[in-house]
Structure 1
Amino acid sequence: MTATDKIEKWRGLVPDSELDTYVKGGFGNRIGLGKRPALLNIDTTYMFVDPAYSQCGGENPELVAAIQRITDVFRNLDLPIYYSRRDDRTHPVRRGIWNLKLGTADDFQYSRDPRADEWPEGYAPREQDVVVYKNKPSCFFETPLESFLRYDGVDSLVCIGISTSGCVRAGVTDAFSHNFRVVVPQEAVGDRCATAHQANLFDMDMKFADVEPLDSVISELESRFAADVRAAQ
Structure 2
Amino acid sequence: MNDLSDDYAGAGFGRPLEWGTAPAVLVIDMVRAYFEPDAELYMGNRDCLDSAVRVVDAARARGVPVIYTRVEYGPGGIDGGLFFKKVGALKHFVRGSGSTLGEIMPEIAPRDDELVIVKQYASAFFGTSLSATLASGRIDTLVLCGVSTSGCVRATAVDAISYGYLPVVVREAVGDRDPRPHEANLFDIAAKYGEVWSEESVLQRLAS
Report TM bin, short chain.
Answer: over 0.9
Structure 2 counterpart of 1:151: 136
The alpha carbon displacement at 1:220 in A equals 1.5
Deviations for 1:175-217, whole angstroms, at most 9, x for unmatched residues?
A: 0101111111100000012100000000001111111110011
Q: 2:77 aligns with which of 92, 95, 116?
A: 92
Q: 5 Å matches for 1:118-197?
A: 118-197=103-182
Deviations for 1:122-180, whole angstroms, at most 9, x for unmatched residues?
A: 21111111111111100101111000011111110000100000000000000010111
Q: 1:43 aligns with which of 15, 26, 29?
A: 29
The alpha carbon displacement at 1:78 in A equals 1.0
Count the aligned residue pairs: 206
The alpha carbon displacement at 1:99 in A equals 4.3
The alpha carbon displacement at 1:89 in A equals 4.3
Normalized per residue, the structure richer in helix is 1
Q: 1:203 aligns with which of 188, 200, 207?
A: 188
Structure 1, unmatched stretches of 5+, are: 1-9, 224-233
Q: Percent identity?
A: 34
Structure 2 counterpart of 1:74: 59
In structure 2, the residue corresponding to 1:85 is in which secondary structure? strand
CA distance in 2, matches of 1:130, 1:143: 12
Q: Moved runs in structure 1, 4+ residues, more than 4 A?
A: none
In structure 2, the residue corresponding to 1:51 is in which secondary structure? coil
Sort the Cα spacing of 1:145 and 1:174 in 2 relative to 1 into closer, same or farther, 3 A: same
TM-score w.r.t. structure 2 length? 0.92
Matched, 1:62 2:35: no
8 Å Cα contact 1:33-1:182 kept in structure 2: no
Structure 2, unmatched stretches of 5+, are: none
8 Å Cα contact 2:93-2:99 kept in structure 1: no
In structure 1, the residue corresponding to 2:79 is in which secondary structure? helix
CA distance in 2, matches of 1:143, 1:181: 18
The alpha carbon displacement at 1:105 in A equals 4.5
CA RMSD of aligned residues (A): 1.6
